[in-house]
């Protein structure tokens, strides 16, 4: 019994070390939020606070998205707002291309879900240190927009 317990703790320790070694050191945030019922409404805005410690560092900003195979469009329009530590907000509209003209999904598939990580700003330097809040809202004609599973944000340091 003692040997089993020792092997269990050794395996657990090795697993934790392996998991800790897989973290991405460049990522400031890489977070996804589930869309309730896979129906993204205009009122359902996703907020992501991001703490920036180095204003001279360049960052890449990505929108994370997961849709089901039943999503009926080849693209997605979103409004992304950035509110800085000075409380000023800037909003911009972005289009995410999700499929080719022939209908082939561009994302990575797993079962009936397709995942995307699309850059919307590259090599961006924040004007000041502090916490920035990014708000993502859908900007399509359909309300709710069906078959959207998850929405997220990734901010990473550029090497």
Which CATH class, in words, describes the domain spanning 26-157?
mainly beta
* 137-to-2, 35, 59, 63, 124 alpha-carbon distances in Å: 55, 11, 22, 11, 21
Per-residue pLDDT of the chain (159 residues; tens, 9 = 90+): 655 545 444 444 444 444 444 468 889 999 999 999 999 999 999 999 999 999 899 999 999 999 999 999 999 999 999 999 999 999 999 999 999 999 899 999 988 999 999 999 999 999 999 999 999 999 999 999 999 999 999 999 998
């Amino acid at each position: 019994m003692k040997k089993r317990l020792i092997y269990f703790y050794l395996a657990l320790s090795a697993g934790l070390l392996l998991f800790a070694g897989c973290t991405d050191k460049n990522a400031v945030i890489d977070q996804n939020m589930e869309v309730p019922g896979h129906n993204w409404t205009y009122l359902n805005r996703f907020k992501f606070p991001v703490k920036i410690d180095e204003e001279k560092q360049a960052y890449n900003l990505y929108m994370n998205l997961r849709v089901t195979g039943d999503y009926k469009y080849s693209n997605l329009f979103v409004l992304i707002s950035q509110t800085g530590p000075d409380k000023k907000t800037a909003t911009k509209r972005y289009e995410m291309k999700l499929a080719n003209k022939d209908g082939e999904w561009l994302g990575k598939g797993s079962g009936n879900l397709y995942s995307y990580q699309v850059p919307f700003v590259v090599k961006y330097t924040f004007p000041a240190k502090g916490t920035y809040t990014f708000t993502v809202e859908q900007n399509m004609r359909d309300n709710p927009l069906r078959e959207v599973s998850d929405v997220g944000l990734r901010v990473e340091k550029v090497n």
